[in-house]
Structure 1
Amino acid sequence: MTTIPGPAAPEKTAPQTARYTRKRSAAVIILVLSLIEVISAFETSMVFAAIPTIIKDFDSDAATVGWAVTAFLLVAAASAAVCGRLGDMYGRERVLIIVLAIATFGSLFSAIGDSVGAIIGGRAIQGVAGAILPLCIGLARAHLPNVKVPVAIAVISGTAVAAGAGSAFIAGMMIDYASWHLIFIVAAVYATCMLLLVAFVLPWLPPVGTNQKLDWIGTIAFAPAIAGILLGITKGSSWGWTDGKTLGLLVGGVVILALWVLWELRVTDPIANVRLLTDRKLALTMLATLTLAVGPFGISNLIVPIVLQSPSSGSFGLGMSPSAAGALTLAGALLGFAFTPLSGRLSRTVGSRVSLLIGGLMYAVSAVLLYAFNDAKLGMFAMVVTVSIATSFAYTALPNLVVESVPVENTSEATGLNSVVRTAGQGIGTSIATAILASSAIAGSIAPTVGGLNMVVVVILIGTAATIALALMLRPGTVYAEA
């Protein structure tokens, strides 16, 4: 594993070098990075709770307000890879401060917005928060001893899942007792606090400089390529998969992406080193990320709230209120989060492949529980807990597998690309599940049937089986050693 050089001797007469001489324990560094990652999860999930209220306040519709989600995801996918690479080149601490500042501005822009368009614009700016997780993982690897890296990555990644569940509940409470404006104000205040943590608490690595040139063409071309593909996937179920707009976005995005790959293979200093994907372990990890996101991870985030809040008088559902459903989901997520250190320890001792396998098997159990107990509160709580535990193992194993596959200097770049793959997979999975549920509705009704739900369970199991198969193809072992 590549050895990270120690900080250069500081100049005691230069007060601006104090950040490079800070001494922080591993626990403090992990805590700070986990707190920072909370803002990424909060930015991602908070708007879901506000969509119905925004529709009502602005007399709009779901298709229009839904762009508040789509715009965020499009920017988040592109920024995860691009900002991750910029962090590897120019310093992750510096890029993280810029990202947090931009996210703060985006939140304030949405908070004072007096139209749906303003909210969507602010959400697009907030999308840069998609780069926070890759940057935090890169910082963990750069600042911590090898032996502590797997647990740190697992905790940071697991924080994203738990915070995502918590943010929906918190946002719902703010909307119920205050205003949807408040969720954006809170996000801005929190992001500002995290910026201060990076600037004044987190240790910095001294600048080493770079003779690499920024790949402007690759940077500019990557965003529309990913945006076209993700937008086509996201809107395919509502526009129709054979609609000209859907096909145009998908085909156009794929063509631009193919041209982008060719350019990245030719340029001296690419924004994304696609040659890394020739590594067998990294390629299998990316495929496992895709199958996990298309199947259990992506669909579970959609289907659990539907089952919990669907009327109990229907073919399935518990008839819970949004706040009660959010509380149950949060409780399950917190129980699952408790398993993230175990996932990290497994990655350190026997390799992340084992954590991915455990997560896959737990997802299979959760699918069976969803099939059998979609009308029973105790059974659904068990399902939510099982999904959370599965996510704690599988979701946190993926970034550790990436770290096991790439050099230190490519950490944020590679984990950023992994985030892009995960985002695309979630878009595919939710589109498939939505289409299945919509097509299962009885004529004259919009309520999905239990037959449609069971078909979604089948899709979850297919994605789970594919993930387990890919995990078995990974070579066992770990690059982490006692230091």
Structure 2
Amino acid sequence: MSRVKAGHGPAAPGPGGARVAAVVGFLVFVELISGILQGMMPTLLPGLGADLKITAGDLNWVSSAQLLAAAISVPIFGRLGDLYGHRRLLRIAALCLAVGSVLVAWSPSFELLLLGRVLQGPLAALLPLEMGLVRDRLSPEGARGAIGLLVGALTFGASAGTVLAGLLSEVVTSVHGILWIPAAATVLCVGIVFFLVPESSTRARGTVDWAGAGLLSVGLAALLLAVSQGPRWGWTGGGTLGLFAVAALVLVVWVLVELRVAHPVVDIRLTVKRTLLPVYGASFLLGAALFGSQTAASLFLSSPPEKLGYGFGFGTLGIGWMMAPWGLMAFAGSATVPRLARAIGARAVLALSGAFMAAGYTVLVLAHAEPWQFVAANLVLGFGIGLALSAMPALVLDASPADRTGIATGVYNTSKTLGGSVSGAVFAAILTAITFKGTEIPTESAYTTVWWCCAGVSLLVAASAALVVRARQTPAGTDAAPRQPAPVS
């Protein structure tokens, strides 16, 4: 079990003079709630869609909107935390999360649900801010132990959230009623970060790239809207082509701005380095395969086979139990990476992860008529994703300059989240385009198309390992092993 060792910095303030170890415990609780919330949402999506009469295609936006907000929030909140204090930004992120969670739980309409999910975007910034805070308050050894506890709490919470949502559905009749429970927990987290967490003492100098953040937000939003609405508006329609044109123009201007500012949201020059670009490409692809298909999986599991000819007709509890093995195998895969990386190298682990993921999705395409087949495919898939989530940060650290590791890992997280947001929009278009005649209900072919896409993307993850520049060698002559476990958010 990890132990937390305090550094020589000032004692942590708080009621009763809370010790540093107790403060880490409070942050672990915050990450546990964050993980539970992330694990619950995919399980509850079919119920939300039925309550608010949201089509399968539009339901993907419930995930994509949050992922897009998260991709923008992480670099902005991280930079503001460096400038003005990590606790201060942790408070703002927790407030956004609480307000968004309350709005999601209350939401009487699709539009308000989307607004709530956007406000939940800063949830992804909690862990980087907490990492900055513990690095400032603890010794290097203590910080490593604390970060391990935070990542472990997030991982466990994400796995437990899928089952917890199902168990709660047995005693709470409304999906909105279930959502009020994690919403109340996020309000408790606000109290914790306001009154029980100390401030970091180190401050960076510089400014915030607000122009870059705004341009990136507008460009990506236009791109995702064009992709998701193309089947309805027509790919050659004026609205679709206009959005693609806006997206292209805005993103080109964004790149030019990022190349000129001193502290960009995304360091373009660092991103396109020969050593890092293949890893960032692989992280984008991983996000596409990991996050983009979650909504499709939940919808397939909830589909009534007697009416549609596919699915299992599971309620929230059944979906939770079916998704739980995936999370457990992801955790197991992540735990094996340090030993595997020492034996075969992190690049080989990345290739292996893509192969496992592709195999899992291929099995899912070919055999999904029985629940055990779905579980078996997801056991293989989950193990591969766990390998990738733990191997990629090691590759980023090995490939980045020693004084740019924070920026480099931030770009990795942003790339992964953007991949999920983009694929969510693409898969929304697929579920909207391939439907039963005269309805908005996806056919079985729509889901297999999504899984074939994910299998192809996973093969590209495996192939990208060949493009990754060989890691800096350890004295033993082997690829460096991962220095820190990877978050699953």
Same fold (TM over 0.5): yes
Counterpart in 2 of 1:38? 35
> Displacement of 1:347 after TM fit?
5.4
> Displacement of 1:27 after TM fit?
9.3
Provide the identity percentage. 26
Q: Does 1:187 align with 2:189?
A: no
**Kept after mapping to 1: 8 A contact 2:7/2:142:** no
Deviations 1:80-133 (A, max 9, x none): 232133234444343223201221122234445555544443333222223234
Counterpart in 2 of 1:55? 52
Counterpart in 2 of 1:458? 452
Superposition pairs of residues 296-315 of structure 1, within 5 angstroms: 296-312=289-305
Q: Does 1:376 align with 2:376?
A: no
Give the SS at the match of 1:210.
coil
Q: Supply the distance in 2 between the matched residues of 1:300 and 1:285 (Cα, whole angstroms).
A: 21
Superposition pairs of residues 251-290 of structure 1, within 5 angstroms: 251-290=245-284
Q: Tell me, which stretches of 5 or more residues in structure 1 are unaligned? A: 1-5
> Displacement of 1:238 after TM fit?
4.3
Q: Supply the distance in 2 between the matched residues of 1:285 and 1:391 (Cα, whole angstroms).
A: 15
Q: Tell me, which stretches of 5 or more residues in structure 2 are unaligned? A: 1-5, 472-478, 485-489
Counterpart among 91, 97, 109 of residue 91 in structure 2 = 97
Distance 1:67 1:392, change over 3 A: closer
Counterpart in 2 of 1:106? 100
1:38 partner amino acid: G
Deviations 1:418-464 (A, max 9, x none): 34333332244344445556655565676656655554443233212
**Kept after mapping to 2: 8 A contact 1:373/1:379:** yes
**Kept after mapping to 2: 8 A contact 1:229/1:253:** yes
> Displacement of 1:465 after TM fit?
1.7
Counterpart in 2 of 1:293? 287
Q: CA RMSD in A?
A: 4.3
**Kept after mapping to 2: 8 A contact 1:281/1:405:** yes
**Kept after mapping to 2: 8 A contact 1:99/1:132:** yes
Q: Supply the distance in 1 between the matched residues of 2:77 and 2:154 (Cα, whole angstroms).
A: 18
Q: TM-score with structure 2 length normalisation? A: 0.77
Give the SS at the match of 1:208.
coil
Counterpart in 2 of 1:478? 480
> Displacement of 1:34 after TM fit?
4.4
Question: Which range is displaced more, 132-141 or 297-306?
Answer: 132-141
Question: Which range is displaced more, 281-290 or 312-321?
Answer: 312-321
Q: TM-score with structure 1 length normalisation? A: 0.78
**Kept after mapping to 1: 8 A contact 2:165/2:178:** yes
Counterpart in 2 of 1:77? 71
Q: Supply the distance in 2 between the matched residues of 1:464 and 1:350 (Cα, whole angstroms).
A: 20
Q: Does 1:393 align with 2:387?
A: yes
**Kept after mapping to 1: 8 A contact 2:68/2:421:** no
Deviations 1:280-330 (A, max 9, x none): 332111100222233x32454244334434444566444444431321112
> Displacement of 1:161 after TM fit?
6.3
Question: Which range is displaced more, 463-472 or 210-219?
Answer: 210-219
**Kept after mapping to 1: 8 A contact 2:26/2:197:** yes
Q: Supply the distance in 2 between the matched residues of 1:27 and 1:111 (Cα, whole angstroms).
A: 29
Give the SS at the match of 2:208.
coil
Q: Supply the distance in 2 between the matched residues of 1:318 and 1:47 (Cα, whole angstroms).
A: 16
Q: Supply the distance in 2 between the matched residues of 1:27 and 1:189 (Cα, whole angstroms).
A: 21
Q: Supply the distance in 2 between the matched residues of 1:459 and 1:50 (Cα, whole angstroms).
A: 26
Question: Which range is displaced more, 117-126 or 196-205?
Answer: 196-205
Superposition pairs of residues 82-481 of structure 1, within 5 angstroms: 82-113=76-107, 116-136=110-130, 145=140, 163-164=157-158, 166-171=160-165, 174=168, 177-198=172-193, 205=200, 207-294=201-288, 296-312=289-305, 316-344=310-338, 346=340, 352-406=346-400, 413-436=407-430, 441=435, 443=437, 454-474=448-468, 475-476=470-471, 477-478=479-480
2:277 partner amino acid: A
Deviations 1:207-254 (A, max 9, x none): 223331233323333322232233333434444433333333333223
* Number of aligned positions between the proteins: 468
**Kept after mapping to 1: 8 A contact 2:83/2:205:** no
Distance 1:387 1:338, change over 3 A: same
**Kept after mapping to 1: 8 A contact 2:367/2:373:** yes
Question: Which range is displaced more, 138-147 or 254-263?
Answer: 138-147
Distance 1:123 1:230, change over 3 A: same
Counterpart in 2 of 1:3? none
Q: Supply the distance in 1 between the matched residues of 2:32 and 2:424 (Cα, whole angstroms).
A: 28
**Kept after mapping to 2: 8 A contact 1:218/1:264:** yes
